[in-house]
Amino acid sequence: MFVAIAILVSLVASLAIFGNGSRPVSFQGWIEADMLFIGPDEAGRLHLLTVKEGDKVAAGAPLFQVEQKVYDADWRAARAAVDEASARLARAEAKQQRPEEIAVLRAAESRAAAALALSQSEFARVRQLVAKGVSPKSRLDQAKAAFERDQASLEEVRRQIKVAELASRSEDVEAARQAVRQAEARLAAAETRRLQRSVAAPQGGLVQEIYFRPGEVVGAGRPVLALLPPGNMKLRFFVPEALLPRVSTGLRVTISCDGCTKRYSARISFISREAEFTPPVIYSLEERAKLVFRVEARPDEPEALRVGQPVTVDLTAAPAKPGDAHAHH
């Protein structure tokens, strides 16, 4: 997600009005906003839009989702790769045999060989007895089964010894572990890309404008919507150099506007350190040569104001709010 800042410029005069000291000092200004432009990190077709212009959303609320079929497939492939790498590691670790384990197998081989020799001898003896008619044929069947059983047991132990002697080396097991780590990293990346297709509000605020609708393709770096957090609204006005001593950061001012039901309070948050000529879009022939300083203030009730709205800023101190800190310019 990316965040950009838009400054909405109004064609409102910023002229100082002041008299002999009995009249309050006031300026004309306007409301601006630092918009949050919300869009996907990667291009894709907009699948779902869960808000509309004018909606108030809380931080973390879902805003939109970009089609993610390809990303789901990538995630499944990465998940399968992790499973495969883990299985290879398990096989490699199972092959590793310690010397004492091989010694146990050797002892088992000796016991199996002795048992086979005994059952082989018994099988031969019973066969002769049956041939002479001294022993029943069922006895021969039992001796043969015991011989074949001991023969199979010896072959199984020898197979286990062969596998143990060909066991994976330590470096092979470490390589298998590294393959698992790499597969898990690719899975985590695939999961992140998939989650990024569903975008939530980074802050609470008002959905100011929507630029794309479901079904449209959103380019990488393009915003789907503009979000305006209340704390990102501010008013801007310009103060002549002669009146700059009257202004300081932290100073509370009063705002009035046409159609407003009451006056609002704001706190000065920024005073430019560099003078500039009266902006060309607002100067008159009388004011164009005057040097002014840009001042910004944060309103206490931003929801009551509108971006681009002209306001009058009165430097008559507004009532201080608890916790206000006044820093002087």
**Cα–Cα distance between 176 and 89 in angstroms, integer?**
5
Specify the pTM: 0.53
Tokens 């630029």, located at residue: 211
Q: What is the pLDDT of residues 103-125, one digit of tens each?
A: 888 899 999 999 999 989 988 98
Kindly tell me if the per-residue pLDDT of 145 is higher than 80: yes
276 vs 301 pLDDT, higher one:
301
Query: Please, are residues 36 and 233 in contact by the beta-carbon 8 Å criterion?
Result: no
pLDDT level of residue 258 (50, 70, 90 thresholds): confident
% of the chain residues with pLDDT over 70: 81
Structure tokens, 291 = 């040097």
Instruction: Please answer whether residues 3 and 202 qualify as being in contact, where contact means their C-beta atoms are separated by less than 8 angstroms.
Output: yes
DSSP bridge pairs for 236: 30, 296
Average pLDDT (90-98) is: 69
Q: What average pLDDT does this structure show over 51-73?
A: 88
Q: Long-range contacts for 208-211 (Cβ within 8 Å, ≥24 apart)? A: 208/33, 208/35, 208/53, 208/307, 209/53, 210/49, 210/51, 210/52, 210/53
Query: Distance (Å, rounded) from C-alpha 188 to C-alpha 79?
Result: 9
DSSP 8-state class, residue 237: E
> CB-side exposure of 88: number of CA atoms within 13 Å?
17
Q: What is the pLDDT of residue 241?
A: 85
Instruction: State mean pLDDT over 8-29.
Output: 51
